[in-house]
Amino acid sequence: MSNSMDDVAKYAQAFFIIGSNTTEQHPVFGTMLRRAVRFRGAKLVVADPRKIDITEFATLHLRQKPGTDIALLNGLMYIILEKGWEDKTFIEERTENFDEFKATVMQYPPEKVAEITRVPVEQLYEAAEILASSKPTAVLWAMGITQHIVGVRNVMDLANFQMLLGNMGKPGGGVNPLRGQNNVQGACDMGGLPNVYPAYQPVTSNEVIEKFGKAWGTYERGKKKEESDSFIFHLSSKVGLTVTEMIPGIPEGKIKSLYILGEDPVMSDPDTNHIRHCLESVDFLVLQEIFPSETSAYADVLLPGVSFAEKTGTFTNTERRVQMVRRAVEPPGDAKPDWWITSEIAKRVLFHLSSFDEGKGERRRIDLEAPWAKWDYKDTSAIMDEINALAPSYGGITHARLEAEERLQWPCLTVDHPGTPILHTKQFTRGKGKFMPIDHVPPAERPDDDYPMVMSTGRVLYHWHGGTMTRRSQGIMQVYNEALVEVNPDDALKLGLNGRDRVRITSRRGSIEAKAWVTERVPPGMVYANFHFPEASANELTHASLDPVAKIPEYKITAVKVELA
Ligand SMILES: Nc1nc2c(c(=O)[nH]1)N[C@H]1C(S)=C(S)[C@@H](COP(=O)(O)OP(=O)(O)OC[C@H]3O[C@@H](n4cnc5c(=O)[nH]c(N)nc54)[C@H](O)[C@@H]3O)O[C@H]1N2
Ligand SMILES: Nc1nc2c(c(=O)[nH]1)N[C@H]1C(S)=C(S)[C@@H](COP(=O)(O)OP(=O)(O)OC[C@H]3O[C@@H](n4cnc5c(=O)[nH]c(N)nc54)[C@H](O)[C@@H]3O)O[C@H]1N2
Ligand SMILES: [Mo]
């Protein structure tokens, strides 16, 4: 998020929630937003094909056809420009490339947009007026925006929208993607991405490789004057594969072994049949888990990690805030903290790599400083010391400050730095904000005669992804114990459900049977399924078409046929 949850909830005059089921998937923040609407009179525009719970609080609900967000946003911006509601000062002082962008937006008059999105013209005008006249408006989104082949383009168009209205760098404004897992932000910040080291330092930069090589002991300074500095071995400068490229890369011979920590790809990756086939053919699979999962059947080695309640360390949340967690429960059996397991493996791998003499083809004794010694962390506080030294945006975020209950959001460069609740207040990271001309592109898989309906997928309030954790909770299972598929009453009538409740949903890749929930939450022609139960997981049906930049699958649109089971 460019902003913080507090300032958005306190100061936004309007919220534009697009592709986020906020009350079910971010219930705490969802409550803050509902209170702002109810008690402070903030306006709320929701753009979502489904009638999700938060629409009950909405001033206006736009029910666009799935996969038409760019047309919708361009249509709203067309009206804003037509009416002269744009923030001319902000555009002049803080942005560039406005004319090229405007030329594209002008291709999206309301009538054309209504045809693409199925949102009536009057609603487009009403939405544009609410969002442009409320100063500031905060934009909030989640997977309804990103899980498309146009995920990156959708996000860029939302940035266009907020720059056009001058809503950047202000309390109550901003571009606010609501991140999913408790520490997905922290995982990215720490370099859990194929192209960067911690704090987004590129793996392709020699300077960065040298910096990390020295810190991790893989780089040796010349001992004598005449010796030059050298690498014991080079940290790779090659950009790696994303997670959605790795597993499909197995049959292509790109990947020979996998080390999976805390993921359950058999449940969560698209096109489960293909995933199973790939995992069957990988040479070696190590899985670090806290429970047996659908994926553990494919593992050669299982490593027992510990859960959040059994470890000490930090999580970084959606607003870039770093928070301490402390061990509250003793881990069972031989379970060990994930960081400990990883560093024990790293030490052994590093020993292997650094002691191998390529010239002689044999192992040798090493007189250089042993790199694996660097990985002997005493505890997570020692890891944080290393982060402070190597990741500039975390430079001043120390365990001591967090223990003193300081509220720290990165960038926080030094121990005297107060942290940064709002980004881009004076300028953008690249200087001026660049308007990007973005055109509508239809989804990868569209309904046809054989598969005439659209399936959208996501989560429900009661369960968490593959359900390894939530399906083990008796209380939760009493409330929600099998996959429900949302079906519109019109479609139920056409199917002849007539009191029966089992449906079979089939795509080009697979088929599931589940109980139907006949409800107006989905429009006619659309069903909504989740991936919480192995016996009826939506991912048996989804396809692996990816956004070309972010490589995120188009989970939100699959062509299906629905029948009585
Ligand atoms: N209870 C619970 N909470 C969770 C999770 C969980 O598993 N369970 N998972 C967490 C994680 S990792 C994540 S990423 C977040 C996800 O949080 P969300 O993204 O809010 O959750 P989704 O269920 O993916 O639904 C996104 C919304 O997008 C809408 N949508 C579908 N297609 C389109 C479209 O084409 N355009 C637009 N504008 N909207 C569309 C759907 O109707 C839905 O309301 O939730 C987090 N919170
Ligand atoms: N069809 C469809 N598919 C989707 C999505 C969708 O909207 N639609 N959403 C996608 C999104 S946004 C996400 S984030 C993914 C989520 O996909 P996954 O991350 O694969 O799903 P989880 O079930 O959260 O898996 C996490 C695993 O980690 C284990 N675990 C929990 N805590 C710890 C720990 O501390 N240490 C270790 N080692 N393991 C732990 C849990 O037991 C669980 O099996 O699913 C994606 N898949
Ligand atoms: Mo997620």
Say if residue 229's pLDDT is above 70. no
Ligand 1 site, residue 456, Cβ cutoff 6 A: yes
Amino acid identity, residue 336? K
What's the CA gap between 140 and 329, in Å, rounded?
35
What's the CA gap between 162 and 158, in Å, rounded?
6
The answer to which of 39-43, 248-252, 286-290, 497-501 has the lowest mean pLDDT is 497-501
Closest residue to atom 36 of ligand 1, CA basis: 144
**Mutation test residue for ligand 2: of 465, 473, 540, 547, the one with most atoms within 8 Å of CB:** 465
Q: Residue 559 region, left (φ>0) first, then alpha (ψ -120 to 50), else beta?
A: beta
Q: Which atom of ligand 1 is nearest to the CA of 143?
A: 19
Among 517, 463, 456, 447, residue whose Cα is nearest residue 487: 517
The ligand that comes nearest to the alpha carbon of residue 299 is 2
CATH for the 184-246+305-409 domain, from 3.40.50.740, 3.30.200.20, 3.40.190.10, 3.30.300.90 = 3.40.50.740
The ligand that comes nearest to the alpha carbon of residue 264 is 2
What is the tens place of the pLDDT at every residue in 429-487? 889 999 999 999 999 999 999 999 999 999 999 999 999 999 999 999 999 999 999 99
* CATH 2.40.40.20 in the chain, residue ranges: 453-564
Q: Which atom of ligand 2 is nearest to the CA of 268?
A: 47
Domain 5-178: what homologous superfamily?
Dimethylsulfoxide Reductase, domain 2 (3.40.228.10)
Closest residue to atom 35 of ligand 2, CA basis: 307
pLDDT mean over 359-374: 61
* CATH 3.40.50.740 in the chain, residue ranges: 184-246+305-409
What's the CA gap between 109 and 71, in Å, rounded?
10
Q: How far is the CA of 565 from the centre of ligand 3 (A)?
A: 31
Say if residue 225's pLDDT is above 60. no
* CATH 3.40.228.10 in the chain, residue ranges: 5-178
Q: How far is the CA of 295 from the centre of ligand 3 (A)?
A: 18
For ligand 2, residues with CB inside 6 Å are 143, 147, 180-181, 261-265, 268, 288-291, 293, 305, 307-308, 338, 457-458, 464-466, 468-469, 531, 538-539, 542, 555
For residue 458, how far is the Cα from the chain centroid? 13
Taken in order 359, 365, 368, 371, is the CA torsion positive or negative?
Answer: positive
CB contact at 8 A, 172 and 12? yes
Around ion ligand 3, residues with a beta carbon closer than 5 Å are 180
What DSSP character marks residue 205? Answer: -
**Mutation test residue for ligand 1: of 55, 143, 453, 455, the one with most atoms within 8 Å of CB:** 143
Amino acid identity, residue 154? N
**Mutation test residue for ligand 1: of 24, 25, 48, the one with most atoms within 8 Å of CB:** 25
Give the three-class secondary structure for 325: strand
409 is written with which tokens?
């959001």
**What's the pTM?**
0.94
What is the tens place of the pLDDT at every residue in 8-62? 999 999 999 999 999 999 999 999 999 999 999 999 999 999 999 999 999 999 9
Q: Which atom of ligand 1 is nearest to the CA of 47?
A: 38
Q: Which residues of 316-337 are buried (b: 16+ CB within 10 A; e: fewer)?
A: bbbbbbbeebeeeeebeeebbb
Give residue 210's pLDDT.
86
Closest residue to atom 7 of ligand 2, CA basis: 458
Q: How far is the CA of 464 from the centre of ligand 1 (A)?
A: 12
The answer to which of 169-178, 366-375, 422-431 has the lowest mean pLDDT is 366-375
Q: How far is the CA of 474 from the centre of ligand 3 (A)?
A: 24
553 is written with which tokens?
């699958």
Which CATH number applies to 453-564?
Answer: 2.40.40.20
Closest residue to atom 11 of ligand 1, CA basis: 180
Q: How far is the CA of 144 from the centre of ligand 1 (A)?
A: 6
Q: Which atom of ligand 1 is nearest to the CA of 556?
A: 32
